[in-house]
Amino acid sequence: METKKQNFVVNRIESLKYAIVGALYLIKTENAIKVHCTSTVILSLLGYFTGLSKIEWMFQFLAIGLVISVEALNTSIEKIADFIQPDFDKKIGTIKDVSAGAVLFAGLFGAIIIGFIYIPKLILFLYQ
């Protein structure tokens, strides 16, 4: 029983290692992910200096996490598509377009959340 429990913990740590390798690969190779990481730093600094509330921080990180996660899945789908069909294929094109559409949805709603947080602060800053 103890061995099984240990294996479970070891397996989880192994999986985490693979996930970190994947995340580092994305950061090193994908321009979109680099842009999102830069945006994360900028938004975190902006949040710090504008004094976000706990709820605003939660929504900001939720929006950032949503966009980065969907972008990562989109990259994964693109790579699978390129692997199974390196040549031009209408169906592959649709698969990639749909996957890119998911990123667009996440980005759009992420931007709305960020807008809800910062637009009132901007208005207050400009007119007070």
Q: Considering only CA atoms, which of 54, 47, 48, 96 is closest in space to residue 75?
A: 96
The residue type of 53 is S
Instruction: Please report whether residue 69 would count as binding ligand ATP according to CB under 6 A.
Output: no
Locate tokens 């949503």: which residue?
A: 66
**Closest residue to ligand ATP, based on beta-carbon distance:** 93
**Residues making up the binding site:** 18, 30, 71, 78, 96-97
Joined tokens for residue 69: 């996660």
Nearer to ligand ATP, 60 or 99 (CB): 99
Closest contact distance (angstroms) between CB of 85 and ligand ATP is 6
Q: Tell me whether residue 71 is one of the annotated catalytic residues.
A: yes
Instruction: Please report whether residue 32 would count as binding ligand ATP according to CB under 6 A.
Output: yes
The residue type of 19 is A
**C-alpha to C-alpha distance for 58 and 103, rounded to whole angstroms:** 21
Tell me which of 22, 65, 93, 115 binds ligand ATP, using CB under 6 A.
93
Q: Which residues of 71-91 are buried (b: 16+ CB within 10 A; e: fewer)?
A: bbebbebbeebeeeeeeeeee
Subset of 98-117 contacting ligand ATP (CB under 6 A): 100
Q: Which residues have a catalytic role annotated?
A: 71
Contacts with ligand ATP by CB under 6 A lie at: 32, 78, 85, 88-89, 92-93, 96-97, 100
